[in-house]
Structure 1
Amino acid sequence: MTLRYIAMPDDEARRIWQGGRDAYGKLPERHISDGDGVPCRHCLRNVEAGQAYLILAYRPFSSAQPYAETGPIFLHADKCLAPDEDSVPPILASSREFLLRGYGADERIVYGTGGVVAQEALEQRAEELLARPDVVFVHVRSARYNCYQCRVERR
Structure 2
Amino acid sequence: MQVTFEALPTEAVRALQRGGPDAYGHKPERKISDGDGVPCRHCMRNVAAGEPYLVLAYRPFPELQPYAETGPIFLHAAECERGPSGTQPPEMLASPDYIVRGYGADDRIVYGTGAVVPTAKIAGRAEALLARDDIAYVHVRSASNNCYQCRIDAA
C-alpha separation between the residues in 2 aligned to 1:131 and 1:121? 16
Cα shift at 1:86: 2.0
Q: Which residue of the partner structure matches residue 22 of structure 2?
A: 22
1:124, distance to aligned residue in structure 2 (A): 0.8
In the alignment, residue 108 of structure 1 is paired with which amino acid? R
Q: How far apart, in 1, do the equivalents of 2:38 and 2:52 lie?
A: 10
Aligned: 1:147 with 2:150: no
Classify the secondary structure of the residue corresponding to 2:13: helix
User: Which deviations, in whole Å up to 9, do the C-alpha atoms of 1:47-102 show, x marking residues without a partner?
Assistant: 0001000000000001010000000000000000011102431112x100000100
Q: Is the counterpart of residue 61 in structure 1 residue 61 in structure 2?
A: yes
**Runs of at least 4 residues of structure 1 off by over 6 A?**
none
Q: Secondary structure at the match of 2:45?
A: coil
How much is the aligned-residue C-alpha RMSD, in angstroms?
0.7
TM-score (norm 2): 0.97
SS at match of 2:101: strand
| In 2, Cα distance between equivalents of 1:123 and 1:147 | 18
Distance 1:120 1:113 in 2: 18
1:50 maps to what in 2?
50
The change in CA–CA distance for 1:11 and 1:56 in structure 2 (over 3 A counts) is same
SS at match of 1:21: coil
Structure 1 unmatched runs, 5+: none
Name the CA distance, whole Å, in 2 between partners of 1:27 and 1:84. Answer: 27
In 2, Cα distance between equivalents of 1:123 and 1:87:
7
CA shift digits 1:3-60 (9 cap, x unpaired)? 1111111111011112101000001110000000000011111000010000000000
Matched residues, number = 154
- Pair 1:137 & 2:134 matched: no
Q: Distance in 2 between matches of 1:141 and 1:39?
A: 12
1:13 maps to a residue whose letter is V
SS of 1:91's equivalent?
A: coil
Identity %: 58
Distance 1:50 1:77 in 2: 12
Whether 1:95 aligns to 2:120 is no
What's the TM-score once normalised by structure 1's chain length? Answer: 0.97
